[in-house]
Amino acid sequence: MWKANRRDFLRVSGQGLAALALQGADRAKTRVGLVSSAYAKLLKPSSLEDPLDYPRVRDMVWRAIDYGRPRAGSLEAKIKPGSWVVIKPNLVSLPPRATYRTGDVTDMRVTKAVIEYVASRSRAARITVAEGGSYRRIGDPLPDNVLRQNGVHVDALTADWGDEFAGLPGSLGGVLKEASASFPGKTFDYVDLSYDAVRDAAGGFKWMDVPKSPDGIGAFGEKKVYVPANTIVNCDFLITVPVMKVHLTCGLTGCLKNYVGTAPRIVYANPGNFSNNLLHSDHSLEGRLDSFIADLAAFHPPDFCVVDAIRGLQYSEHRINRPDQEVRSNLVLAGEDPVATDALLATLMGFQPRDIEFLHLTSLRRMGVMDLAAVDVVGEEPDRLRRRWGKPANWFGRCNREWTLAQGDAQAGERFTSPVDTLHLARWRPPSAALSYRATVRAIPTGGRKGYLWVGARGRVTAFLNGTKVMEEEGTTRYRPGQFQQAVELRAGENLLAFELKPLGDQADLSVLITGPSNDGDTLEGLRWTA
């Protein structure tokens, strides 16, 4: 694992994280609380390797909530009296499912601590834990995807976690029963979102448009309408409580990716399966699920976020039988801005926030700020806690989107912004066997830097860097970003990248990014693009 020094960390945001840490944070900025088990102001500071007990976890969670308090002044001040508060952890999998391992789901101790905070500090009337996982609930007559413990069908409410979470044995049902006894004036319950589809007056699934942002931005997904969960749409206050871990296709799981579990599986599962297959196949945009992450979150953006970063998984979001897959960090984060909180998660895991597509999409919807220079991180100093997590084998950062385009002998270029990683030139101008396309972009690094040029192409592509040919390839097989790679050295200031692409029949596609010296799919740190 790699730890950054402060200079490295400050460089990550491009502008520098000018106002990180501590209690004198500017209240005009969005805040994210960050607390480790070793934080000196905890009642019993513990090492970052300590398995922790429940009182220590609760202390971390409550302090992070206080540090990341919303603009209303506190979490409890933001929750109106009599509210229905929904707490949404990530419980996508349960033991003994073959793909489950420790770090795959939200730590039950974090969920319990959030329940207790809301119950004891706020005037909420009903507190619901809600999640939809890849397992049948008790009472579902279908036999596939049934999980059994000691021969008995279990689900998220009844599964016994044993010693999975140190100092907190038992089930989620037991946690809710204990809360009911401790706070008799409130209602505590569980909703399985997999079965909680919004329905129309006739009882059928109700397909709904994605709510638009203040400036009119609607759905990003390939299919523009969704069946959301009734609980998510109709609750008064929503707290997302994800686990921090790597994800194969979108990079990481956090506050926003947690919304995939809100899509009812009775709507989106194929027969004989109980995963959200149809969500992926129908709503993904060119293979990226970021589009429907942003869409699902729009139905009820998080009112607050608490992140379990105690244990997570690198390389992949589920078990892949690698002994080093589990990562213990012993951290908790909290804040009302899900974009800022996920941007900090990305940085702590060794990603660059600008490589995460769903952060761009949710920023466009004004769900939060992605630039950490505009965020106050209160509590710990993040640079001491940043590590480089193992990335998925097929990971690549967000490709360039800004281009100047021309076709044939045209001398003047036209500026064009691609909405996706792949520049579909044939959609911009019809292709011609006699004409090639020209696409240029300027790459601006932080000083002279070495890296790798990644190019995806359908057709014959020739690449030039500052007038020197650096690549000539022909893409005639399966297209993918990064199918061609070449070591390059960028000079300080602007570097002109120019591409000539001769179509392959009626296809002419191009994607470009520049990775760092480790060539692991991350964009070269600090790199900016301009047409």
**pLDDT at res. 113:** 98
**pLDDT at res. 26:** 45
**pLDDT at res. 6:** 33
Residue 225 CA to residue 211 CA, distance in Å, equals 10
Q: pLDDT tens digits for 217-230?
A: 999 999 999 999 99
User: Which domains are assigned to the chain?
Assistant: 6-384 (no CATH), 402-530 (2.60.120.380)
**pLDDT at res. 5:** 38
The closest alpha carbon to 510, from 446, 437, 411, 445, belongs to: 437
Q: Judge whether 340 and 320 are in contact, CB under 8 Å.
A: no
Q: Indicate the DSSP class of residue 441.
A: E
CA distances from 51 to 25, 55, 91, 166, 328 (A): 31, 12, 20, 7, 9
Residue type, 420: V
> How many CA atoms does the CB half-sphere of 493 hold within 13 Å?
1
Both tokens assigned to 172 = 């989620």
What residues in the chain have per-residue pLDDT under 70? 1-27
Q: pLDDT tens digits for 77-116?
A: 999 999 999 999 999 999 999 999 999 999 999 999 999 9
Map tokens 């976690």 to a residue: 161
Both tokens assigned to 414 = 């036209």
Residue 483 CA to residue 411 CA, distance in Å, equals 29
What are the residues whose beta carbons fall under 8 Å from the beta carbon of 531, sequence distance 6 or more?
Answer: 402, 403, 404, 415, 416, 440, 441, 442
